[in-house]
Amino acid sequence: MSDETFILRSPGPSLLDGEAPAPRAKTRGFSLAMLWEVVRTGLVELWAHKVRSLLTLTLLMLGVFALVVMTSVLDGVMDKISTGFAGMSWDGTVRIAPKTAETAEERSRFVMSPGLRQEDLSRLTAPHPKVLAFLPRAQRASSVRITGDTERIFVTGVTPDYAVWMNRPIGLGRNLTEDDQRRRSTVAVVGATLAAKLFGGADPVGRDLVVEGVPFRVVGVQAPGQIFNEENYTDANGILIPLEAYMDRMDPAHKLAQVTVKLRHTEDAGEVSAMLLSRVRQAHHGIEDAEIVDLDAEAAKAYQNFLEQMHGWQVVLLSLAGTVLLVGGVGVLSVMLISFSDRRFEIGLRKALGASDHEIFIQFLLEAVVLAALGALIGTVSGGLLCQALSASFPYGLVVNPIGLITAWIVALALALIFGLYPAFRAMRLSPMEAMR
Residues that bind another protein (CB under 8 A): 1-2, 4-5, 7-10, 12-13, 15-20, 22-29, 31, 33-34, 37, 41, 44-45, 48, 345-346, 349-359, 431-433, 436
**Is the Cβ of residue 42 or residue 157 nearer to another protein in the bound state?**
42
Cα dist from 426 to 21, 152, 340, 420, 435, whole Å: 37, 71, 8, 10, 11
**Is the Cβ of residue 253 or residue 352 nearer to another protein in the bound state?**
352
**Is the Cβ of residue 44 or residue 202 nearer to another protein in the bound state?**
44
**Is the Cβ of residue 32 or residue 297 nearer to another protein in the bound state?**
32
Q: How far is the CB of 327 from another protein (least distance, A)?
A: 29
- Residue 42: which of 413, 371, 426 has the closest Cα? 371
Q: How far is the CB of 340 from another protein (least distance, A)?
A: 16
Q: How far is the CB of 413 from another protein (least distance, A)?
A: 25
Partnered with residue 158 across adjacent β-strands are 137, 242
Calculate Rg over the CA atoms of the chain.
37
**Is the Cβ of residue 123 or residue 358 nearer to another protein in the bound state?**
358
SS3 assignment, position 369: helix
Q: Are 135 and 181 in contact (CB under 8 A)?
A: no
Q: Are 259 and 124 in contact (CB under 8 A)?
A: yes
The CA distance from 405 to 409, in Å, is 6
| Kind of pairing between the strands at 149-158 and 238-242 | parallel
**Is the Cβ of residue 1 or residue 104 nearer to another protein in the bound state?**
1
Q: How far is the CB of 355 from another protein (least distance, A)?
A: 5
Q: How far is the CB of 374 from another protein (least distance, A)?
A: 17
Q: How far is the CB of 309 from another protein (least distance, A)?
A: 53
Q: Are 228 and 87 in contact (CB under 8 A)?
A: yes
Q: Are 185 and 220 in contact (CB under 8 A)?
A: no
Q: How far is the CB of 422 from another protein (least distance, A)?
A: 19
**Is the Cβ of residue 22 or residue 297 nearer to another protein in the bound state?**
22
Contacts of 65 (CB under 8 A, 6+ apart): 379, 380, 382, 383, 386
**Is the Cβ of residue 5 or residue 103 nearer to another protein in the bound state?**
5
Q: How far is the CB of 37 from another protein (least distance, A)?
A: 6
Count CB-CB contacts under 10 A for residue 239. 26
Q: Are 331 and 56 in contact (CB under 8 A)?
A: yes
DSSP state, 226? -
Q: Residue count of the chain, please give it.
A: 437
**Is the Cβ of residue 19 or residue 308 nearer to another protein in the bound state?**
19
Q: How far is the CB of 12 from another protein (least distance, A)?
A: 6
First to last CA, the chain: 32
